[in-house]
Amino acid sequence: MRSARVLAAASAMSVAAILAATTPAQAASNDGTCNTDEACIYRLADYSGGIYDTLSSKKSYSGLVFHGTSTTIDNKASAAKNRDPDNNLWFYQLDNWAGDRWGVPAGASTNFTGSDDNKWSSHCWSGATAGCPGG
């Protein structure tokens, strides 16, 4: 009887170890890697310079910095990638999803050009083509 319990416990631990080894790791916000489902914001054009990557909508960029730097992202973004395959990513000139906006379709990338370079202060994801709630 005891050996049956030991065998059952060992089998359960083996299954748990296999499941843990095959389960993909979750992306971590602002880890410096542009992972699936993230908004990736770049300091310089063509997806270079510092990167800020996040899984969350942000009503304000105040206090947020590019990974591994002390450079804030507020009004300093020159390019972005929308790694979410299902939702549009909307950038806003002002906090709280207000002011001018720029949409990046699901799975697309963009360089902010001209007067839209270094302009953005918030972003959100939305399935809508009209922008974010309250935006």
Dump pLDDT digits (tens) for 27-74: 678 899 999 999 999 999 999 999 999 999 999 999 999 999 999 999
Please state whether the predicted TM-score (pTM) of the whole model is above 0.95.
no
Distance of CA 135 to the CA centre of its chain: 20
Complete domains list, the chain, with CATH: 39-126 (2.60.20.10)
- Burial tier of 88 (Cβ tally within 10 Å: 0-12, 13-18, 19+): buried
Range name among 10-14, 36-40, 58-62, 129-133 with the lowest pLDDT average: 10-14
Give the residue from 87, 84, 86, 97 showing the smallest Cα distance to 123.
Answer: 97
Residue 113: both structure tokens together: 């050009």
Alpha helices (H) in the chain, listed in sequence order: 2-22
Where does residue 13 rank: exposed (0-12), middle (13-18), buried (19+ CB within 10 A)? exposed
